[in-house]
Amino acid sequence: MKRIIACLATLLLVLQAGAQNNDNNKSLLWRISGKGMSKPSYLFGTIHMIKKDDYVWTDKMKESLAQTDALCLEMDLSDPKLQMEIAQGFIDKSGKKLPDYFTPQQYALLAKYMKDTVGMSITLFEQMKPVAVEMMLITAGYKHKNTTSCEETLMTEAQQEKKKIMGLEAAQEQLDVIESVPTDSVVKTIMDEIQNTSDNDSEYYEMVATYKQQDLPKLYAEIATSKDMADEMGPFLSDRNKKWIARMQKDMATSSVFFAVGAGHLWGDAGVINLLRKEGYRVEAVR
């Protein structure tokens, strides 16, 4: 289920050879400068959903956002069409219905779990793809834990300062990444979530603790070795990072931008920090 967190809703990393886990790497906020930029831009690592008490937002982070002209998230959450585009993308157009993907026993368990935990009837999802149910379970689970969305909090602050809101990806691009996961794997993840909630919580809380320490190398290692992300680092992280760089360069050429993306995207050989450095930018930790 962490794979979806890494993409949409989503937080949700093996250390690259030679990476040094030292204090110079322990920051969620990075200043981007060089290549003729008149003003620096910033790169900030988020956890898409986090308990309100665990939210990391320092004076230096607030000050850095205030100095920029625009906030750029993975998707433009201010776009009124976004929610409808995602909802349409979750409708199953294959001719199958949700029960067709589960055994009768599995579907009965899912129906009970949805009713008891989410407070909704499974019949409302019969026309949806299994990944839509996975998303619903994630969202309901985090709401139950008194969580907040880092992105929505940042967007509210940026809108109060009348900053432009942008996105690195369109909704369909994220949907394409999510749907690259085989449906039987999605079904297995849903059943694991229903039957092993304590194990899922334990892994999540370990990552949150590392995030609060602002230890990007350790967080990257934890995500890379998690049971949900180990085989999907390419499509959910590395491939998207490479695609983002040209878009970031175009945005930074005309304005100062505060980029806020899942923290798992920042570190590693194919992480955004390293890819920007390869393009000739100076990327420094801000503490």
What is the full per-residue pLDDT of the chain (287 aa) written as tens digits? 444 444 433 333 222 323 344 567 789 999 999 998 999 999 999 988 888 888 999 999 999 999 999 999 999 999 999 989 999 999 999 999 999 999 999 999 999 999 988 888 999 999 999 999 988 887 776 555 678 889 999 999 999 999 999 999 999 999 999 888 889 989 998 998 888 765 557 778 898 999 999 999 999 888 888 766 555 666 788 899 999 999 999 999 999 999 999 999 999 999 999 999 999 999 999 98
AA identity, residue 13? L
State the Cα–Cα distance between residues 98 and 171, nearest whole angstrom.
22
According to the model, what pLDDT value does residue 18 have? Answer: 32
The answer to whether 29 and 42 are in contact (CB under 8 A) is yes
Q: How is residue 21 written in tokens?
A: 């886990």
According to the model, what pLDDT value does residue 197 have? Answer: 61
In degrees and rounded to multiples of 5, residue 97 shows phi and psi of -110, 160
CA atoms within 13 A on the CB side of 221: 12
Angle at which helix 171-178 crosses helix 82-89, to 10 degrees, equals 30
According to the model, what pLDDT value does residue 143 have? Answer: 53
- Please report, for residues 4, 133, 193, 257, the alpha-carbon distance to residue 24 in angstroms, rounded to integers and kept in the order given: 30, 40, 36, 23
CB atoms within 10 A of CB 112: 12
Q: Is 33 exposed, middle or buried (0-12, 13-18, 19+ CB in 10 A)?
A: middle
The answer to whether 260 and 153 are in contact (CB under 8 A) is no
